Amino acid sequence: MENFIIGSLREASTALNALIANDEAVQRIARAGGILADTFKNGGRVFSCGNGGSMCDAMHFAEELSGRFRLERKAIPAVAISDPGHLSCIANDYGYEFVFTRYLEAHARPGDCLLAISTSGSSSNVIAAARFARENGMVVLALTGRAGSDLGAWADVDICTPAGPYADHVQELHIKVIHILIEMVERAMFPENYK
């Protein structure tokens, strides 16, 4: 059993080291962090969405911004599209493909930003949200796990973190990228917390 554990940790380490060595991905992370900070500085809000584990990541992203990441600071307006009442209502009345777009239609406005998360980059409802956001004056950031994905094609910045054939190591990299993005926002908006 210990060999399996060490092997799993090595796989995760290999995936992380590959991301560290990927200059293009690092530049995209930096660009996305700048976009997020500018969105908030300009009075915009950020919405996040995904399915399953990616929804959990979307929720984690939003709560760290509206709550607190490291040190005390003002709340930052970020919302995950994860309300069960909304999701079940829209899925029942319109279909699951519309659960994110309908929320954006109700709450988002031009100048806001969408963080769309899909390990495969092929989740139809997340792609629909990205398309809706782009067509309605929002900036779209994508977190994906496969290069050249349909979701990535709708994104202003596609942060792709390939990490093998399964979603688990992709999700591990996604949460690391999410934490980096949050810290970048905090460093830009509350530099006094990082002296």
CATH code of the domain covering residue 21: 3.40.50.10490
pLDDT interval class at 175 (50, 70, 90):
very high
Domain span at residue 70 reads: 2-190
In a domain, 195, yes or no: no
The SS3 assignment for 91 reads helix
In a domain, 29, yes or no: yes
In a domain, 137, yes or no: yes
Q: How many domains, the chain?
A: 1
CA distance 117 to 131: 13
9-64 tens-digit pLDDT: 999 999 999 999 999 999 999 999 999 999 999 999 999 999 999 999 999 999 99
Q: Residue 166's pLDDT is what?
A: 79
157-160 β-sheet, strand order:
78-80, 46-49, 113-118, 139-144, 157-160
In a domain, 26, yes or no: yes
The SS3 assignment for 119 reads coil
In a domain, 111, yes or no: yes
pLDDT above 80: residue 164: no
In a domain, 74, yes or no: yes
pLDDT interval class at 165 (50, 70, 90):
confident
106-162 tens-digit pLDDT: 999 999 999 999 999 999 999 999 999 999 999 999 999 999 999 999 999 999 998
